Structure formats: C-alpha cells, structure tokens
C-alpha cells in the first residue's frame, strides 16, 4: 500500500472516530465512539432503568407535560451508565423497605435536547449550558420523586417537577412538616448511594464521578438498535 493511500485511510478513520463538534464548540460522543468506549470499559454502557424492580417511569419529555410544553423525546425511555443504574437500584431497595418507590421523570438526555432547553429558556440556574453540557448528557443524572407503594400516588414535595421557583431549591425552608419529611427522605437515601442533589432542583440528582463520562448525543432509537 502506498504512503499516500495509507495517509488518507488514517485520516478517514480519525474523522470517523473523532467526537462531533456543534455550534457551541462542545465535542460530543456519537454512537460509534460510544460503542468503542463500552468495548474498552463496560461501565460506560447505558443501562435501562426500567429493569429496576418496582420502578415507575413518567418520562415527561416524551410528552408535552413539561416546561417546554412540547414532546422532546420520541420514546419514553430512562437510561443511565451502568454504575449509576446499579446505585439507583440499591437506593430503590432502601426506599422499598420504607413503603415507597422511585418515579423517574428523566435520566440520560441526548445533548441535542439540552440545546433545545437552553435556546428556549436561557437561565442556566435551571437549564444546562450547551457550552458545557448537562450531567444528564453524560448518563449520570436522574430526575426523580417518590410514590407510595400502596396507592401509587406521588409523595407531597415542595413543588412540581420542572418548577423554576426558589421553593424548588433543596435549601429553601419548608413549613409543611410532611413535605419537609418527604424531601429529606428522598435526599438522604439518594446521598447514601452516591448521589448529590442539585442546588436548584429537589428532584435532580447527580452521581458521584460523573466527570469520568463523555457528553453524549445518541438518541434512544440508536441505543436500542440490535
């Protein structure tokens, strides 16, 4: 093989494997790069959270019941990196002992959705900057609440999901003792299993070690291809 042909083959291979770059200058991982990363490290795998016993899915961005008022995802799916999914399963086991279960509003979020959120609502107190990406984009964040195992009803919390009010901040004092107890239960158990609550959203939890994972822009349909 001539040197010139080899050069072009190497150039094409590098271009194929390189992370994509978008208008905000952030490199994101696509399907081919993700698959290669899983082969080198199985912990990079996106795992379906629907397989956790007694988990409840209410994927709001697969509906128009969200702050955008429009459907963002075409499939109601909840994925997270393997260690995140395993930690969430352990948290769920603890919650079940207390007669409650996790309801998931959102988990892994393709980067393109983060861009839509930012361009719709540019306050980065509540939406991630597309210049950095979201921990959801890394598969290391979950938006959750708790439901009563017997009734299936959500426990009372300070606000609704996706509230952009100061009352949604986990540091905001809560007068109602039941609501305060519910929020404390959610946060304390999640912290015991390696999650940290977001400063402005009582429902948002980041997994410790999220920095190890790449910002990813793969749709659910791509993840589910055989």
pLDDT tens by residue, 115-150: 999 999 888 888 999 999 999 999 999 999 999 999
- 26-223: in CATH 3.10.20.30: no
Residue 198 confidence class, pLDDT cut points 50, 70, 90: very high
User: Residue 133 and residue 26: Cα distance in Å, rounded?
Assistant: 8
Average pLDDT over every residue of 176-184: 98
**Token pair listed for 130:** 């597309």
Q: Alpha-carbon distance 189 to 91, whole Å?
A: 6
Q: How many CA atoms lie within 13 A of 13 on its CB side?
A: 6
- Domains of the chain, by residue range, sit at 26-223
pLDDT of 22: 77
- Model pTM? 0.89
Per-residue model confidence as pLDDT tens digits over 40-89: 999 999 999 999 999 999 999 999 999 999 999 999 999 999 999 999 99
pLDDT of residue 183: 98
The answer to whether 215 and 28 are in contact (CB under 8 A) is: yes
CA atoms within 13 A on the CB side of 38: 15
């Amino acid at each position: 093989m001539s040197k010139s042909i080899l050069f072009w083959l190497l150039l094409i291979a590098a271009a194929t494997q390189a992370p994509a770059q978008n208008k905000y200058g952030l490199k994101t991982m696509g399907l081919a790069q993700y698959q290669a990363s899983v082969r080198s490290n199985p912990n990079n795998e996106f795992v379906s959270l629907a397989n956790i016993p007694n988990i409840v899915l209410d994927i709001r961005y697969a509906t128009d019941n969200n702050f955008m008022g429009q459907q963002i995802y075409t499939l109601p799916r909840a994925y997270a990196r393997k260690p995140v999914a395993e930690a969430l399963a352990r948290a769920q086991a603890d919650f079940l002992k207390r007669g409650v279960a996790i309801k998931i509003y959102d988990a892994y979020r393709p980067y393109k959705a983060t861009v839509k959120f930012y361009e719709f609502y540019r306050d980065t107190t509540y939406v991630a900057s597309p210049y950095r990406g979201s921990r959801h984009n890394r598969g290391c964040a979950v938006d959750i609440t708790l439901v009563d195992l017997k009734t299936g009803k959500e426990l009372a919390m300070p606000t609704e999901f996706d509230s952009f009010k100061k009352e949604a901040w986990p540091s905001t004092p809560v007068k109602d003792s039941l609501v305060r107890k519910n929020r404390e239960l959610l946060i304390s158990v999640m912290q015991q299993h390696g999650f940290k609550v977001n400063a402005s959203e009582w429902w948002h939890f980041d997994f410790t070690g999220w920095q190890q994972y790449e910002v990813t822009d793969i749709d659910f349909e791509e993840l589910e291809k055989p």
